Chain A
Amino acid sequence: MDGIHDLGGKQGFGPVRQQRDFIPFETPWEARMWALSFYVGSSDLTIDRFRHLIELLDPVDYLTHTYFDKWYFSVVTDMVASGSFRDEELKSGRASVAAPPPASLSLAEVLEAVRGYSRSFKREIDDAPIYSVGQIVRTQKYGISGHTRLPAYARNRQGHVIAHHGAHVLPDTNVNGVEAPQHLYTVRFAARELWGLDAAQNDFVSIDAWESYLVRA
């Protein structure tokens, strides 16, 4: 969707405000939200629905809410939309129906669980890839209204395929829980193809693009 989240190339932002020696987290509630995000979410909440719910925040909220506050609204919106939580419960912090606590995870068990999160989004499909490494391709001209991962700055631009990664889960459908894997390519653009002559002649930007994001050049 043509949302506020699609920030690549937008102008008017000031310098990047850096942090020296950042150690997570900036505030205690952000640490709690980070940890909660591993547990709170309905079965609908794929990585893409999680992202899409953030994209659907009001544009002003998107720009003013901090990173972990956007996570909060993504997971609670999912829980309310799926009927798992009621808004009153979120307000009071009291469950309408209590349940016994699960077993706690020790630090060692958490560290083991982290390793289990190393999941690839690569899938086997029967279709042969349409494009090959070295080929010149063009990206789709128009955006789509739902969740997608082709940034607006890279639409209708010519680049070349520098890698093929096999088929990966398609975000556009995985937002609704349908993996529909497609071949995934890394497409490199000359910065001047994207930004014109202001860009340095030897700068390049690449995106990872699913097959349906591309057309023959």
Chain B
Amino acid sequence: MPIHDHKSDVETHRHLHSHLPSDPALRVKALESLAIERGIVTAETLDNWIEAYREHIGPRRGAEVIGKAWADQGFHARLLANAAEAIKELGYEGQATGDLKAVENTDKVHNLVVCTLCSCYPFGILGVSPPWYRSAAYRARAVREPRAVLLEFGVKVADDVEVRVWDSTAELRYLVVPQRPDGTEGFSEEMLGKLVTRNSMIGTDRDLPAVAV
């Protein structure tokens, strides 16, 4: 493996920017056609990857995991001890879940996840990240003024509640375990899972209602 000279990588970026169309839709179309002609992949395979992430892999998986953790104390303990292993019980291991960690909210603790250096996200369990998560504004501000960012999401964290921001700088990926809503005694795992929102597993949602919205 060569040691890459980043001056030459910067040069390649510049060269490509000046030689290729500015419209990304055109460039990606050409890239796909080139990859197909080169025998790297087929259009049908690409279609199936897209369908997998549109229809099958998404925040419903994470929500089911949380529902199960609320209903099943043993699973709850396993999830907090080793989330990467625990989600395999549901067959939900996937991209960027190999070093998954679960962090739990309590009455006195609120967790918020960000990746300031890029946009690391546990794709396999939460699907493709929402655009706000990858935005410069979120990446810049979540570590510096988490309470202000949370307010924009409609989450008022009381002064006596500790805010813990997790900046995903390694391959570890964080999954927030929100608090189980009051008034859900006797709910099944499935009913509980339906109450869990994508944002509550990132930390930009906190008090979940007992009725699915």
**A contact set with B: CB distance below 8 Å:** 1, 5-11, 13-19, 22-29, 31-36, 38-40, 43-44, 47, 49, 51-54, 56-58, 61, 63, 65-69, 72-73, 75-77, 80-81, 85, 87, 89-95, 97-107, 109-111, 114-115, 117-122, 145-146, 149-151, 153-154, 165, 168-169, 171, 175-178, 184, 186, 188, 191, 194-195, 199-200, 202-210
Contact = CB atoms under 8 A, between A and B. Distances in A.
Interface in B73-103: 84, 88, 91, 93-99
A115 B94 contact: yes
**Which 5 residue pairs spanning A and B have beta carbons closest together?**
A99-B39, A8-B116, A93-B30, A177-B1, A208-B170
Given A204-B165, A207-B169, A208-B169, A36 B131 contact: no
A57 B13 contact: yes
A73 B13 contact: yes
Size range of the interface on B? 35 or more
Given A39-B35, A98-B37, A53 B9 contact: yes
Interface in B120-169: 124, 127-128, 130-132, 134-141, 143-144, 146-147, 149, 152-153, 159-169
9 contacts: A33-B28, A36-B41, A67-B119, A91-B20, A105-B48, A117-B124, A118-B97, A151-B116, A203-B147
A13 B140 contact: yes
B30 A118 contact: no
A47 B34 contact: no
Contacts of B160: 202
B116 A36 contact: no
A191 B163 CA distance: 10
Contacts of A165: 99, 170, 172
B12 interface: yes
A29 B28 contact: yes
B2 interface: yes
A22 B83 CA distance: 25
Interface stretch (B49-57, B63-71, B176-184, B188-196): B49-57
Given A34-B53, A111-B52, A118 B94 contact: yes
B36 to A, nearest CB: 7
A17 B49 contact: no
A9 B35 contact: no
B165 A206 contact: yes
Contacts of A117: 94-96, 98, 124
A90 B130 contact: no
A73 B16 contact: yes
Nearest to A95: B37
A8 to B, nearest CB: 3
A97 B39 CA distance: 10
A151 B41 contact: no
